[in-house]
Structure 1
Amino acid sequence: MTYDCMNCFDGCNHETGYCTGSCTYEFYGFDCNSTCPQNCDMTGCHRESGECRNCISSYYGVNCTETCTGRCHSRCNLNGLCSDNCKGGHSNCDSTTGVCLDGCKSGYYGKHCVDKCSSYCTGNESVCDSATGVCPYGCEPDWYYSTCKYGCSLITPHCLKCTQYKDKRNLEFANCNTCGYGFYKPTLEDLCAPCENCLNDNCNGSTGDCLEGCTPGWYKHPYGYDICDQKCETSCIDGCDPTNGTCIHGCKDGFYGDICIFTCSRNCLNKTCDQFSGSCITCKPGKYGFYCYNSCVNCLRGLCDRTTGICEDGCNDGYFGEKCSQSCSQCLGENCNSQGVCMSGCAPGKYGSYCNESCVDSCLICHPVTGQCLHVSPACNITQCNMNFMNSICPPSRFGFNCHQTCSTTCTNSSSSGYICEKCTGSCIDTCASGQFGQFCNESCGKCASEDNTLTSCNPNDGHCFKCIKG
């Protein structure tokens, strides 16, 4: 438990609550949290016992609970009689009003001589005007009014320095302008307030600026003030820099930025991203890009490169290209290879390797390579067309419309299906037999030889020799 020392004149021990100086005038006790009797005057009560130092008008007694009677109508001593401070004793006073007839003893003032000269008059407590109580030589530091009876802490708890002035009626006032340790004077406020979030509760008594920095979890105002009124973001790991709020230990998962106020993309795997840029460390499956906003559309199993978006394992049926963004919709059955070449022919009205060429007007089906019209719409029977072209799959070694053409005998294929050439064009699917090259493997390698000189071999695309036959 910590103590706020609100009623202590010179602060207190924050762990025990003990006030190191005196209490403000309304309080007494170990921690100055007990209230003085209500009829004590502005001089307050004894710090330890709580007994009134002086009573207000018409009361007397240790705690000022008894009412003055008899000759003393308004002021009396602690026995209820006229003041013992009259010159000549308590009998030397007016029998009706209780006014001292010959003035006061040294150190007291007023008509009834019950008011004591302030102990804070410059000189000593016996030096004050016997009628008014005014200290002729002024007050000791930080005590105010002409009678020097009001210290800053009596007017404003925890005040260290005040400014004194008189109003138009010549009444005395004093305003606090600097507060004691642990407090400051807010603008346009009358009372001292505790230092806000300052390390060791140390702030400028006038401005509230923190002199030793901020307590953990707070940082200074971003516009040049030294007030620690900005709270570190809860998304910081272990607090922040007390001078600017930067999260020096990084952000919690899901946040980024200097002060960790920005949220990582929801598509970042495990909500983790770079603290400064916000770039996802890794994307959730099916996403790519700096912030993983882009989707791996049409990629097989939804997998693509996190940076480029290139599909890692190929495309779903009906699509091709690096990002599988191009459609095989012109191909029969939307069946094409990774380069977009249609593998089962073209949809009606189209021809070419990519089926991106249109048959001439009114031609429903044309030759898949040359575009020569084979059936004019609507002359052909749709069922027949479907059987002859649209849904037909040629057997191994056959290609073309109605599978009338034969693949080159020099095409080879290592797959178990036995297909060796592309259905529409007759192009060899895999490699050429030894000694041949070209799209249809119908070109001879000539005098090219393999590395061990046992076979005729050349580049299957351009016929370039790897090695010449000896001789």
Structure 2
Amino acid sequence: MKSKLILDYTQLNRHSSYSFLRLTGHGISLAFVFTVCLTTLTFNYSDGFIPILNCSSVLNVSCELCKPGTFANISTVHCGCCRYSSHGVCVNASSCTECPVGEHQSRYGSLSCDICPPGTSTNNQTHQESCAKCSPGHYSNENGSAYCSPCQEGYYSNQTGSANCKACPLGSFCNETGSAQCSPCPEGYYSNHTGSTNCKACPVGSFSNKTGSAQCTSCSPGYYNNETGSTSCEPCEAGYYSFNTSECLPCDAGSYSAAPGSSVCKQCPAGSHQPNTGQSGCEGCPAGSETRVSGSVNCTGCLPGHYKNDSGFDVCQECPIGSHQPESGQESCIGCPEGYESRLNGSANCTACIPGYYKNESGFDLCQECPIGFNASSANSTSCEPCPEGYYQNLSGKPLCNPCDVGTFCNSTGCSHCEDCDQGTEALVAGSNNCTLCKPGSFKESTSAENCKICKHGWFTTKSGSLECTECPVHYFCPTPDRDKQQCSPQALCPPGSAVPGWCPSPLYVKESDYDCKASSELIGIVVGACIVFCLLVAFAAFKRYRKRSQTIKIENAERRQLVSQEESSPPVYTGL
């Protein structure tokens, strides 16, 4: 397009300069220089050019290309600033190039548009002076975004200008796009990973009683729930227990749980039982039965030797000493019959009284010892027998009586000891019930257990029951202790106490008196002769011994003299010392 520009020179400064710029299709500018000195200048120019007047003495007129970032049209006399020029030059005579989507420019005369950074966009608009921050719930993670994208499900952005969305944290979820925040999981639900689009219901046996749970809590032992999405657990009823949190199980037979919320069942204690399952307590055993171990399902009868007289939790008791019970499952014990007893607790049977003991009636009493003077020789005795005559028992509880020792007697039954025989009497055999008089020739001088003693030689007694013996008088002899004394002959020696007559040996001795003999003259001569012969023999033996000794001395002296003479005649010998 071409136009005619008429300049009034009077309106211009004489020294002002104007440029005429024109952009050709090849980027070549044409400059025209005119010399104008007129008050009014008339010339032709095209879009993109401006006149340059440089008046001095001569007005020079030329065209000049607009600088990058500016433009001109026919109505302007100078180049104006473009918001943006894609190539640094005007591409249109009347406007600049708009910034595309994702870019902006707020400065005049810019050579290019600025790219919107992450977190911003131009909302899919061109010709923007600035980038808009992404609103909450949206993001842009690249440079030059035309628009902000909504956060996907499970992600959120809670502030403006987000370059990225954040994953919903544990315990929360987001099931819509473009969310500015995540919602907490409701009670009974959970989310155990980030970026969840929904929450999962707590499984059976667990619960969540608050919002925003990242995990569910298992039911405590003794509690349960059997539905998903539970906000609490229920306690197991009495008689039930739970350890796997999803169901309550009945207590086994022989066990129980007394209170709700039990994690284990307790065994029924000894003395009780429980035959059924799912029970809150145990039952006592009836009379005559018991349980000795915990966890019993049924009761068992009391063992023989035991009893239980009422129902309850007690165990069977041992039958006390003096009683017994041969059968099982009994409520009481039985006393032992006559002659029998039980000396131990818990006896199933009675034992016979041992010899030396007795029991004369049935009941709970023990066998008693037979008293002294009595005995019971057989077992299971119901009474004791007194010791017979000649026997005794000085201890109680003995099976037999002892015979009286020799020299003692007992002449009644039930003796606890025997008596010594009186003086002049004796008991020659054991078990005597009386004493007999000492026989002639014997005596006993005091009451004791000794028997009668025989009179010693030369003494005698001819009556029974003697307390002592009589010595044979002089001129008499007593050959036996039970016969009277006898007269000795005149030639006999019969001193007092002679058992037989004594005689002097003839012819060497002769009677001097009734007590002694004396030597005869023949005996004296024999004795003197024998002494003389003995003395001569001793003297002869001494003489022979003296003579032999003298000869031995002479020989030794001669040998000694010969040895001395040899030593004196020998020359001296050098020994080397």
User: TM-score per shorter chain, which class?
Assistant: 0.3 to 0.5
Q: In proportion to residue count, which structure has more strand?
A: 2
TM-score, normalising length: structure 2? 0.29
